[in-house]
C-alpha cells in the first residue's frame, strides 16, 4: 500500500467532491471518491481491505468522522473497487451499502469472488493484495436500480446502470459539478502518459462479463447524460467526455477486430499493445506504456478472447 501522506493523495475535483488515491498497486492506479453534503458523506468505490484505514483517515482530514458516513457504493464488485467494502462497513455504523442487485450476493458471501481472483492472479497475489475479504451483513445492503437516487443530506445523487465492463456496474452522478463517478465504465487512464489535455485511456475488458455492444451503449449513454467530467476508478479525471468516449469506442473496436485476426490470447496481447500504442501522444513513451500496462494487458486480452470464444461456441 502507498506510504505517501494522506493529504497528498486527496484532491478536490468539484464542490463537495474528492478523489482519493487508495494506494493499491502503485500511485495513480486506483481511486475512490468522497461525496460530501450537509456534513454527511458517501464513499464511492472502496479500495481493498488494506485501504480501509487510509480511507477513514482521509475522510477525517475533511472533517468527516465514522458516524457521518451514510453510504458506501461500490460501482461494481471487482476487488480493486469493492474488496474493502466489508472492512469499511465494520468501521461505519450509520452507513448503508448500495450495489446493483446482481452484485449483492457476492458482497454477502465473497467466496466466489475469492475463488475467481485466486484463479486469475494466483494465491500469492491474492494474499498480498486482497486478503482478507470481509462479508457485508445482508441487512445493511440496499440494491440500486437504474435511474434510482440516493440522498446525502439535502443532495440527491443519481444512479445509472453502466454495463459492458461488468454486467452489474453502476455509475453515480453528482449534480453539483455534473460529475459521473464511473468505476471502470469509461476506461482506465495512465497519468504518466498524458502529454496533452486528452489523457491516455484504454478500454477495460476483463473476463468474464465483457460485452462490446453493452460497452458501446454505456459510452453513448454517458455522453448523452451531459456530464461535464468523468471520474474513473483508474485515473485521471476526464474533462472532454465526448472525445474520450469516441476514442474508447474506436480502441475497443480495434481490440475486437484484432481478436478475430489472431489464433491465441497471447497473440492478442501483443496485437492490443501494437494497436493501442498508436494512440500515444508521444510515440517515444511506448516503453513506458508497455511497462505501465503490464499486468492489465493480459487481463484485458483475456476478456476479449473469452468473448470471442463465446461467440464461436454460440454460432
The answer to whether residue 230 is domain-embedded is no
The answer to whether residue 218 is domain-embedded is no
Residue 33, domain CATH:
3.60.15.10
The answer to whether residue 305 is domain-embedded is no
The answer to whether residue 45 is domain-embedded is yes
DSSP per position, 283-315 = GGGHHHHHHHHHHHHHHHHHHHHHHHHHHHHH-
Residue recorded with cell 465526448: 242
The answer to whether residue 26 is domain-embedded is yes
The answer to whether residue 201 is domain-embedded is no
Binned at pLDDT 50, 70 and 90, residue 191 comes out as confident
pLDDT of 298: 87
Total domains, the chain: 1
The answer to whether residue 14 is domain-embedded is yes
**What DSSP state is assigned to residue 81?**
H
Name the nearest CA neighbour of 210 among 265, 243, 169: 169
- Does position 283 have pLDDT exceeding 70, yes or no? yes
Q: What is the pLDDT of residues 38-93, one digit of tens each?
A: 999 999 999 999 999 999 999 999 999 999 999 999 999 999 999 999 999 999 99
Quote the domain boundaries for residue 123: 6-185
Arithmetic mean of pLDDT over the chain: 94
The answer to whether residue 233 is domain-embedded is no
Q: Are 121 and 48 in contact (CB under 8 A)?
A: no
SS3 217: helix
Q: What is the mean pLDDT of residues 24-38?
A: 94
- Does position 263 have pLDDT exceeding 80, yes or no? yes
Q: What is the pLDDT of residues 78-133, one digit of tens each?
A: 999 999 999 999 999 999 999 999 999 999 999 999 999 999 889 999 999 999 99
Helix residue ranges, H only, 148-285: 212-224, 241-259, 265-277
SS3 7: helix
Q: Which string of b and e fits 151-171 if b means at least 16 CB within 10 Å?
A: ebeebebbbbbbbbbbbbbbb
pLDDT of 130: 96
Amino acid at each position: 500500500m502507498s506510504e505517501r501522506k494522506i493529504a497528498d493523495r486527496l484532491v478536490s475535483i468539484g464542490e463537495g467532491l474528492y478523489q482519493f488515491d487508495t494506494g493499491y498497486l502503485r500511485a495513480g492506479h486506483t481511486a475512490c471518491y468522497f461525496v460530501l453534503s450537509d456534513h454527511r458523506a458517501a464513499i464511492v468505490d472502496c479500495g481493498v481491505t488494506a485501504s480501509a484505514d487510509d480511507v477513514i483517515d482521509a475522510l477525517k482530514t475533511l472533517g468527516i468522522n465514522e458516524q457521518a458516513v451514510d453510504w458506501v457504493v461500490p460501482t461494481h464488485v471487482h476487488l480493486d473497487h469493492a474488496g474493502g467494502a466489508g472492512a469499511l462497513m465494520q468501521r461505519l455504523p450509520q452507513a448503508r451499502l448500495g450495489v446493483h442487485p446482481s452484485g449483492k450476493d457476492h458482497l454477502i458471501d465473497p467466496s466466489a469472488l475469492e475463488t475467481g481472483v485466486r484463479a486469475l492472479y494466483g494465491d500469492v497475489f491474492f494474499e498480498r493484495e486482497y486478503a482478507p475479504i470481509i462479508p457485508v451483513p445482508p441487512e445493511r445492503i440496499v440494491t440500486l436500480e437504474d435511474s434510482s437516487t440516493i440522498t446525502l443530506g439535502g443532495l440527491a445523487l443519481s444512479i445509472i446502470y453502466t454495463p459492458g465492463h461488468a454486467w452489474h456496474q453502476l455509475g453515480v452522478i453528482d449534480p453539483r459539478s455534473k460529475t459521473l463517478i464511473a468505476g471502470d465504465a469509461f476506461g482506465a487512464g495512465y497519468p504518466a502518459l498524458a502529454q496533452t489535455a486528452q489523457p491516455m485511456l484504454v478500454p477495460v475488458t476483463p473476463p468474464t462479463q465483457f460485452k462490446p455492444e453493452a460497452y458501446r451503449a454505456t459510452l453513448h449513454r454517458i455522453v448523452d447524460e451531459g456530464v461535464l467530467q468523468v471520474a474513473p476508478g483508474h485515473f485521471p479525471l476526464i474533462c472532454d467526455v465526448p472525445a474520450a468516449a469516441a476514442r474508447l469506442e474506436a480502441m475497443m473496436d480495434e481490440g475486437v477486430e484484432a481478436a478475430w485476426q489472431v489464433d491465441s490470447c497471447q497473440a492478442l496481447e501483443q496485437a492490443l499493445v501494437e494497436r493501442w500504442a498508436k494512440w500515444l501522444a508521444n510515440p517515444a513513451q511506448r516503453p513506458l506504456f508497455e511497462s505501465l500496462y503490464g499486468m492489465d494487458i493480459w487481463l484485458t486480452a483475456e476478456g476479449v478472447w473469452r468473448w470471442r470464444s463465446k461467440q464461436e461456441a454460440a454460432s
